[in-house]
Amino acid sequence: MRPLHLENATVMVTGASSGLGVEFAHQLAARGADLVLVARRADRLAEVASQIGSAHGVTVTTLTMDLAREGAAAALRRDLTQRGITLTGLVNNAGFGYSGALHQVDDERTLEMVRLNVDALVDLTATFLPDLRASGNGILVNLASLAAFQPNPGLAVYGASKAFVLNFTQALWEESRSAGLRVLALCPGPAKTEFFEVAGEAAAAGLPRMEPDEVVEAALKALSRRHPPSTVVPGMANTAMAQLTRRVLPTRLVASTVGRMMRRGEVLGEAHGQER
């Protein structure tokens, strides 16, 4: 792969109004990338854009959109075409968790999560992939999770949505190498964002949380390698956990241990997700 240069890049970051999305925006801008920031909360996006514009002098475009709605990717593409913006990078970061046993949670909220974490991510990727490939030095980062490596009682659909993202992204990594497109599945463990305000604090199961800047630094470091990996799990403890749950321990043991942790946090028993 050619060395990664972000000075002439234009990267769209979804879910850029809080958490990891804001951190991606800052770190990409610090490396010289122009940005397109997408989320539903316009006021938050405007605040992030103004901080980044003054700190790094890059061009920041904000687009307010609910990505869980059908046709969101096509609408974004139309909007960017009208503005004369061609993407060279995409960070599919928007996502949320909704916890509780499946028979006790709200079906519509569960399906909304699948529409955002899976449908929108695939649609955005497919819509912008030709541009990313054509750029010759593009990047595509998809937010999976440490949860992608194991069964997640209490977060069954969230975990499955992230397993989808991981598998999908690893396949695209291979499909994209010949085009010089760097594709990365980012699999963080718990991080200090608004994620658990939405998913329910108990979903963290008492695990330590990483700083968002460390998570994003791990992603950009992996993308900068001469031979970028398909997958990164930030943090040594999380990397060890992913290896253990995927390759060493029997699935039955992993599922029952996670189930016990979720029962202790009372995630299994009632729905915990908050709507924003």
Show which residues are catalytic. Answer: 158
Q: What's the closest the beta carbon of residue 136 comes to ligand NAP, in angstroms?
A: 28
Nearer to ligand NAP, 95 or 138 (CB): 95
In angstroms, give the least distance from the CB of 147 to ligand NAP: 7
Query: DSSP assignment, residue 189?
Result: -
- Residue 126: other Cβ atoms inside 10 A: 10
Give one DSSP letter per residue of 73-98, joined into a string.
HHHHHHHHHHHT---SEEEE------
Q: How far is the CB of 7 from ligand NAP (least distance, A)?
A: 26
- Radius of gyration in angstroms for the set of CA atoms belonging to the chain, rounded to a whole number: 18
Q: How many alpha carbons fall within 13 Å on the CB side of residue 67? A: 29
Q: Enter the tokens of residue 152.
A: 């997640």
Closest CB to ligand NAP among residues 17, 245: 17
Residues engaged in binding ligand NAP (CB under 6 A): 14-21, 39-41, 44, 66-68, 93-97, 116, 143, 145, 188, 190-191, 193-195, 198, 276
CB of 178 to ligand NAP, least distance (A): 28
User: Cα–Cα distance between 273 and 201 in angstroms, integer?
Assistant: 9
Half-sphere exposure of 59 (CA within 13 A, CB side): 10
Minimum gap (Å) between residue 5 Cβ and ligand NAP: 26
Q: Are 17 and 41 in contact (CB under 8 A)?
A: yes
Q: Quickly tell me which residue has 């997640």 as its tokens.
A: 152
In the bound state with ligand NAP, the residue whose beta carbon lies nearer, of 67 and 129, is 67
* Backbone phi and psi for residue 164, each to the nearest 5 degrees, phi listed first: -60, -50
Assigned token pair, 239? 């990397």
- Which of 97, 153 has the CB closer to ligand NAP? 97
CB atoms within 10 A of CB 120: 23
Q: Which is nearer to ligand NAP, 177 or 209 (CB)?
A: 209
